[in-house]
C-alpha cells in the first residue's frame, strides 16, 4: 500500500503503477455532473474556477447529509465516465488525480498520459466506510447545487486503487483482455 499526500506533485504521481493500492491523505474536492457543467461554463466564459486545479484531486462523489456527530454522510463514488467529457480539459489545466469508479474513455487516458496524471478507483458500495476517512468537509463552491456542490474534504488514509497510471496502463482494459483470453481458452477445449 502506497501513501500519497494531496495535493500531489507529478513526481509522486509518476511513481504510482496501475494496480497499486494507495492511501490518500490531504485535500480532495468532490464534484459530480452539475459541478463539472459549471466548471465548463466558467472556463468557456474566460473566468477562473472556484478551486485550484494544480496538483488537485477530484472525487466523483456527492456526499449524503451528515448524521449527527459525523463529518459527512455516505460518500461513495459515482460512475467516472459521466465526467469524461470534462476531464481532459481539467487535466490539461493541472488536475493530477481523479477518483471514481468504472472505466475511462480513450480521451481521458490520453490526457492522463500527456500530463502525468492518474485515475484512482474507489470501492463502490462502501460509501459509509469511506466516510469514516473524512476528517473535515466544507462547501467549496456552488452551494446551490446541494449534494452536487463542490466540497473540500480533508481525508486521512482514504483507500483507492490506481486504475490508470501516468503511462496509460489501465486495469479495466487489462481485466477485460484477460477475461476474453480466458473465455476463448475455455471455449476451445
What does the domain layout of the chain look like in residue ranges?
2-187
Global confidence as pTM? 0.93
pLDDT number for residue 189: 59
Task: Please identify, in words, the CATH class of the domain defined by 2-187.
Answer: alpha beta
pLDDT number for residue 188: 59
pLDDT number for residue 126: 87
Buried-exposed string 55-71: b where 16+ CB fall within 10 A, e elsewhere? bbbbbbbbbeeeeeeeb
pLDDT number for residue 8: 93
Q: What is the CB neighbour count within 10 angstroms for residue 147? A: 14
State the Cα–Cα distance between residues 19 and 30, nearest whole angstrom. Answer: 23
pLDDT number for residue 179: 80
pLDDT number for residue 187: 72
- What are the DSSP calls for 60-105, one per residue? ---PPPPPTTSS-S--PPPBGGGGTTTHHHHHHTT--EEEEBS---
pLDDT number for residue 186: 81
Q: 109-129 pLDDT, tens per residue?
A: 999 999 999 999 998 888 888
Q: Which of 109, 103, 7 is nearest to 55 (CA)?
A: 7
Instruction: Collect the ranges in the chain with pLDDT lower than 70.
Output: 188-189
pLDDT number for residue 93: 96
- Specify the residue for cell string 480466458: 182
Amino acid at each position: 500500500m502506497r501513501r500519497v499526500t494531496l495535493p500531489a506533485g507529478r513526481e509522486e504521481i509518476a511513481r504510482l503503477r496501475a494496480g497499486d493500492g494507495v492511501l490518500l491523505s490531504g485535500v480532495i474536492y468532490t464534484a459530480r455532473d452539475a459541478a463539472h457543467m459549471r466548471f465548463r461554463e466558467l472556463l468557456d466564459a474566460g473566468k477562473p474556477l472556484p478551486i485550484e486545479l494544480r496538483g488537485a484531486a477530484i472525487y466523483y462523489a456527492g456526499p449524503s447529509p451528515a448524521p449527527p456527530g459525523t463529518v459527512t454522510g455516505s460518500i461513495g463514488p459515482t460512475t467516472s465516465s459521466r465526467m469524461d467529457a470534462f476531464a481532459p480539459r481539467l487535466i490539461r489545466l493541472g488536475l493530477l488525480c481523479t477518483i471514481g469508479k468504472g472505466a475511462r474513455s480513450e480521451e481521458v487516458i490520453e490526457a492522463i498520459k500527456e500530463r502525468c496524471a492518474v485515475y484512482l478507483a474507489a470501492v463502490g458500495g462502501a460509501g459509509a466506510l469511506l466516510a469514516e476517512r473524512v476528517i473535515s468537509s466544507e462547501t467549496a463552491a456552488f452551494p446551490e447545487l446541494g449534494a452536487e456542490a463542490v466540497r473540500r474534504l480533508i481525508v486521512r488514509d482514504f483507500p483507492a486503487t490506481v486504475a490508470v497510471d501516468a503511462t496509460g496502463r489501465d486495469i479495466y482494459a487489462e481485466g477485460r483482455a484477460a477475461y476474453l483470453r480466458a473465455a476463448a481458452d475455455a471455449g476451445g477445449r
